[in-house]
Structure 1
């Protein structure tokens, strides 16, 4: 069975809804700016990718909003947008043939911090009853499932940035096992003191104060990445089911996937194996890939390792390399899923988005796409790495 993408939903720092997000990316419009979600004066990070002008109750019931974290709000809205874009009415489908798989790396940190502060300051009687579920990694999957009556297989994956691709790969497995429609993707929001401190522990966040230069993946001045928040959800559908119901959109197919793990960190050999296994799974060769959407950490050592892999597999400067996440920051589990959305829109419109640094470091041997480039695209590879040694690669093709 073919896993077809029929709907896209995006809540990103530079656009809410796939059309607005894609317009911003094509124009090179950044969503990075000063960190305003809390007073970050005493923290080394001052730039972030925040979803501006987002009011949860504009999109979901107030009762649900107070029971859940910002990260779940973003995921719920992205799922609603994806269902609407795909023309999927869950009420008209078999509830046991619809599934939900999301990725999260932080859970409900903002909600959890607020309730823990209430516990410390005022005692256990002042901790709300929803603390037990709002912080949990599976909360977004559960809330999407409940809201839309999706009672098929549901799950959550928690391995940071790589999780967004792993969730989509799990959706493909569920389609092959008989599910007809799967809502899948990633969401994260950890722009609170607790969430930021947790991310600082990696040592990879940038302390740069200028949003215009804070994130320079593969750049000569690369010095880390700014944190971000956002969600990207996709409707993954059995192709025969999509045809039978007259699906409006056929963005592309999930053609290949692989994941590897290196407990020691990010070894070149381990990441290269993930790329090669994904190509083998898709029954493709390196020459078949029209564009690579890089993990693009913006950290010199990580960038060098990824550049070595890309140049080693595809040849020096042999394939365009895109890094549109430079316009939004690293959205953790939401980031890789957003890259897949971007790749599918690039395939549809024949445009590789810009965003990569215009001043690359020497020795990387990459064809970095700094400004939008018009070119026919049929196949894209998305690479993602999650803190702790997780690697994932996903290949999408034209429908």
Structure 2
């Protein structure tokens, strides 16, 4: 294991095996670490989201500016004060999940199983004979909500004998990781990351550890399915959900009328491969390269946000230092975009502290889909890779009057721009902050 120590002007930041963790007061300039680490390429993307099933369907919906937040279907949500959400339509789980597995699992696991299939197909990935060559590290925030609610209702109405044996595994937040691993025969080191909305990025951080220890391929990302009465009630208690009845009024990040966010379901799973292994198997496509990652925690309060953006700013600087990238080299920031005025202001502070006022274009594509918890940051990684591929900065949805005082160059309409480096940001309820740096893959760089 290689340890890299990065010195800033007020202390020390240490990176062990590629997992950047801050150990010092905030520094204004962090020097880049040596570039001798394992190269991880994104070779496959699978999307199951309110914007569509499949990576291209999702991208076309974003570019068309289609708001996928709509009135909640499937149950009467009015009693909860929240009536809109981003729900996945036209999803047929039987295309991806065999009946005997479907009855054992929850909707969120169906989406993960589907997204894992789509990612492998997109990559042309056939698992090698060595079963331990592929790992699964997914993120999860709330587990099998719909399945659990059905079983709990049976328990209340009919007693314990009405609860099926599958309840013990379908609700569990590690269920999707386990079911993908079992179904597809992936036996490499696997796990689940639980850091709410930051989880999609944190799963990639863990994948880098796994790859550096010798596993050449890792499935990362995650999905969520929290648009159910039980899960909605839990999320309402955060005080961060919009109660606006119209979708166009409900989720407006960085807008003067920001009033909370809309929830959503779905997400994305990506296949990451060590560069030499990807080339050796003849990978049919490379979406981009993961070159930097940083994570911090506010260590402030389990519900209330920190009073400033110190730790969030550090996460961004850690990721850039890990990547060996200067702020001026970044062509786009994909923001967390909480849609809560206090949180939006903190994120703007972090972005402008690193990049300067209006120093980099910023977009918040989750405004089109709703916040998908762990699935949302994974989906934002997919969106960032698509933006690099096509040279298009996707617009932020639902923003009519951006807050000028934030100092952001907010993308309000699609822009054409050649992109080499993109930063993706994410925060999780409870104080998690994560940042990921992606770079366009250049074939000639492979040595």
Separation of aligned partners in 2, 1:11 and 1:35: 18
Q: Note if 1:100 corresponds to 2:136.
A: yes
Cα deviations by residue, 1:26-80 (Å, 9 ceiling, x for unpaired): 1111211001131112121001000012232232111111110111011110000
1:85 to 78, 100, 122: 122
Matched, 1:72 2:114: no
SS of the aligned residue for 1:107 comes to: coil
SS at match of 1:217: coil
Question: Unaligned 5+ residue runs, structure 1?
Answer: none
Find the aligned partners of 2:283 and 2:413 in 1 and give their Cα distance.
33
Matched, 1:53 2:94: no
CA deviations over 1:258-279 (Å, ceiling 9, x no partner): 1111132343101001111111
Is 1:152 aligned to residue 188 of structure 2?
yes
Aligned residue number for residue 424 of structure 2: 382
Tell me, yes or no, if structure 1 residue 239 matches structure 2 residue 270.
no
Matched position secondary structure for 1:53:
coil
Q: What is the CA deviation profile of residues 172-215 of structure 1, one whole-angstrom value per residue up to 9, with x for unaligned ones?
A: 22111111111111111111111001111110000011112211
Within 2, Cα distance between the matches of 1:359 and 1:383? 22
Displacement of 1:89 after TM fit?
1.1
Report SS of the residue matched to 2:269. strand
Shift of 1:117: 1.1
* 1:312 Cα deviation after fit: 1.5
Distance 1:393 1:279 in 2: 9
Q: Which runs of 5+ in 2 are unaligned?
A: 1-37, 442-447
Whether 1:320 aligns to 2:361 is yes
Structure 2 counterparts to residues 273-312 of structure 1, below 5 A: 273-312=314-353
Q: How does 1:134-153 map to 2 (within 5 A)?
A: 134-153=170-189
Cα drift, residue 293 of structure 1 = 0.3
Q: Which moved more, 1:326-335 or 1:36-45?
A: 36-45
Alignment of 1:360-399 (within 5 A): 360-399=402-441
1:182 aligns to 2:186 (yes or no): no
* Deviation larger for 32-41 or 353-362: 353-362
- Work out the CA distance in 1 between the residues paired with 2:180 and 2:210: 17
CA distance in 2, matches of 1:341, 1:243: 21
TM-score, with structure 2 as normaliser:
0.88
Where has structure 1 moved over 4 Å in runs of 4 or more?
Answer: none
Tell me, in whole angstroms, the C-alpha distance in 2 between the residues paired with 1:194 and 1:263: 29
1:193 and 1:5 map into 2 onto residues whose CA distance is 36
1:119 aligns with 2:119: no
Larger radius of gyration: 2
Q: Aligned-pair distance for 1:106?
A: 0.6
SS in 2 for 1:67: coil
